[in-house]
Each structure stands twice: as structure tokens, then as C-alpha cells.
Structure 1
Amino acid sequence: MNTDEKIIRVALRHFSTSGYTGTSLAMIAEDVGIKKPSIYNHFKNKEDLFISVSEYVLNEYFQLLKNVIDLDEDQSVKSILKNAMIDTSDYLGMEESGKFYMHFLLFPPPDLKAQIHRSFLTFEKKCDEVLSIILKRGIVSGEIRPLSIRECLDAYYCFMDGITSQWFYYDEQTLINKRESAWNIFWQGIKGGNDN
């Protein structure tokens, strides 16, 4: 892990636990083991670091999703989508990443709102692309009924947002039970006649 990554990981922890205004560059530098002025060799200022942390979380989430979607073509579409749902919701249930995603990406600091929103829309477009591949495969094979890809994506994202928010209210076993119930209803809504 290079210094930029160390700073980002430590900043992620601080932003997630202390908030944007409660986190100082001095706190981050101390935990990284460098002097505060050294941070400026890597990031212009606190805002630049925050944007970098945002992009880090979005990229980590996207890579996880892409890795699940890129799995063995012999897997059913149902299995791939379910694994994507489980792996990404588990990622967002992680203390630091989940808190950051749910709080700062959805409700960013006012001065950074426009920039974070642009990053999020770019991230969502990339997610659209990889999810569309598996959704189209499901429609062609008959595993998914002939819906528009946009309808499927919108339903999937709303479903995921609901699952993700559950992490903040329930213990892990309760969340797993709720997630399984929600998945079953979601799949019933989109499945086609060739579903296994």
C-alpha cells in the first residue's frame, strides 16, 4: 500500500466516524505516521482528499460488482444477480465503507455536493453497463421476463438501497433474513418462464 492509499484508508475511517467537519488533516496525518504538511504532497487540501476517498469507495464497490458479474458463464443469471446483491450489500454493511457511502455519497458536504453527484452518476453509469450485460442475458435466455433493461436496473437499485439501509437498524442475522425475503420477492417480479 503506497502513501496515497494509506492516507485514503485512514481518511475513510475518520470521515466515517467523525464526520467531515469533525475530521482534521492533522488527525489523519498522525494516524498515517506523517506530518500534516506531508499530506499536501499527496492531496491539495481536505476537499481534494474527501473527493479521493469518495472515488475510492465507489471504485471499490464497482470492482466488487464487476468481479461477481464476470464470473463463470455457466452460472444462472439468477445466481449471479443474487451473489452480486449479497456481496455488494455486505460491502456496504462494512462499518467504514458503508457509513461513508450511505452518509457522504448520498448527503455530501454542501460545498462538494455537485462534484460528488457527478462522480456518483459516472459510477452508476459504469454499474449500469455491467448489470445490463447480465440482465440482457437473462432476458434472452428467458430467465427474466421481457422487461426493459432500464426498468430492471431501476428496480434493482431501489431494492439494493433498501437492503443497504437495513444494515443500520438490524443485527446481521435479522438483516440476512430480511435480505433473503426481499430477494425472493424481487426475483418473483422479474423472473421469466425459464427460471430454475
Structure 2
Amino acid sequence: MPKTTRDRIIQAALSSFAKRGYEGTTLAHIAGAVGIQKPSLYNHFSGKDELYLTVAKKVMEESTEVMMTSANAHQEKAVKDRIYIVLTDITDFIHQKHKGVMYKRFMLFPPASLTEDLKKLGQSGDAKIDQLLMNFFEQGRREGVFNVDSFSVFRAGFYILMDGSFTESFYYQDEDFQERLEGAWIVFWRGVSR
């Protein structure tokens, strides 16, 4: 199915915002990458803020969808395996060049004009992930594998593992990153399991 002009604008914006950041990206540059005139962008978006927020929402929705799809695809597995697979699948998603960098930019360095909107976006993503983690926590308790009785402790450990892995993925090549991910996973699992 051919992409619409709006889809092409979003894709060009994702690439530009990831490479150049919010401040370094112009609507003229995005329009040129799409092959349209800058005024034509306004048929689709009111301005750079709306376009940036649209791209951020798309990346956030795709990232949470990766986690949900991964968890659902492996429901028959033990909780340890499910959590590990979800972690590696979301890390692979974040490792994608433009999506990962865009995620890092809007979560850590939001444009001042969009700080509150992006904070709310992050919170809505966390709410979806929290539900997934609650399902894991309940499964782990049924299986008798957890040594923690507090969901908030389990959740905090997972977020630190996931967010730390995201950061590591930007700095290290594949082999070094995999070694670090495996080490962090071992520490996390020892911390929450019997």
C-alpha cells in the first residue's frame, strides 16, 4: 500500500528529528525530503510542535506495541523467559537507528514548548507497560519464583534494567552491548527471584 503524503512527512520528520534534534530541524528541510513545498506541510500539520509530538506519539505507541505483542506471543512460557524476551524485543526496537534516537531525544531532552505534552505521553506509555508488568508479577507469584512481595519494587527494577539497557545501546557496539545486557539481566533476575 503506497504511503500517503502525511505518512511520508512523518517518516522524514522522524529521520530529521532523530539526526538534528528539534532545534536543528526545519519544516523546509522536511518538506524538501518529502518532495513538497513547505506551505504544503500546513495541510497536514499546524507547525513543528504538532509534527514533533505526532512523531513522538508514533514512536511511543510502536514501542509499547512491541512489548505487548512480544508478551502475548509467549504466554505459554515461564515468566522468566517472557520477561527476558520482552526486554530483548524492546531493546531491539530502541536499537533501530531513528526510532531509538527519537525516543531518547523526546524522553530526555524534550523541546521546552512540548515538555508537558511529552511528559504526559511518557506517563501514558508507562501506564501500558505497568499493566504488562503487573501481569508478569502475578504470573511470577503464581509460579512461586519471586522473592519480592511488592509490585513497586519489581516494577522499579524492571524500569531501571530497561532504561539502562536503552542508554547502553547508544554507546556500545552489538557484542559489548549484549554482554552488558546479559550481565544486567542476571543481576535483575537474581534480585527478584528465589
Pairwise TM-score range, normalised by the shorter structure: over 0.9
Aligned to 2:20: 18
Among 130, 143, 152, the residue aligned to 1:141:
143
Among 2, 5, 26, the residue aligned to 2:4:
2
Q: Give 1:9-158 correspondences, 5 Å limit.
A: 9-158=11-160
Change (3 A) 1:139 1:2: farther
State the one-letter code of the partner of 1:32.
V
Deviation at 1:68, TM superposition (A): 0.8
State the one-letter code of the partner of 1:159.
L
Deviation at 1:43, TM superposition (A): 0.9
Change (3 A) 1:104 1:143: same
Among 164, 181, 187, the residue aligned to 1:185:
187
Deviation at 1:82, TM superposition (A): 0.3
Q: Distance in 2 between matches of 1:73 and 1:88?
A: 17
Say which SS state the counterpart of residue 24 (structure 2) adopts.
Answer: coil
State the one-letter code of the partner of 1:90.
D
TM-score by length of structure 1 reads 0.93
Say which SS state the counterpart of residue 155 (structure 1) adopts.
Answer: helix
**Which blocks of at least 5 consecutive residues in structure 2 are unaligned?**
none
**Which blocks of at least 5 consecutive residues in structure 1 are unaligned?**
none
Matched-pair contact (CA < 8 Å) for 1:25–1:36: yes
Aligned length: 192
CA deviation string 1:28-66 (max 9, x = no partner): 111112221111111111000001011011001000000
Deviation at 1:155, TM superposition (A): 0.9
CA deviation string 1:58-116 (max 9, x = no partner): 00100000001112432111111001111111211222111111122222011111111
Q: Distance in 2 between matches of 1:73 and 1:98?
A: 27
Deviation at 1:131, TM superposition (A): 2.0
Which stretch of the first structure deviates more once superposed, 47-56 or 30-39?
A: 30-39
**What is the aligned-residue RMSD (CA, Å)?**
1.3
Deviation at 1:122, TM superposition (A): 1.0
**Structure with more helix by fraction:** 2
Matched-pair identity in %: 31
Matched-pair contact (CA < 8 Å) for 1:139–1:146: no
TM-score by length of structure 2 reads 0.94
CA deviation string 1:165-186 (max 9, x = no partner): 1122211100001101110111
Deviation at 1:146, TM superposition (A): 4.1
Deviation at 1:154, TM superposition (A): 1.1
Among 160, 163, 175, the residue aligned to 1:161:
163
Q: Distance in 2 between matches of 1:51 and 1:151?
A: 31
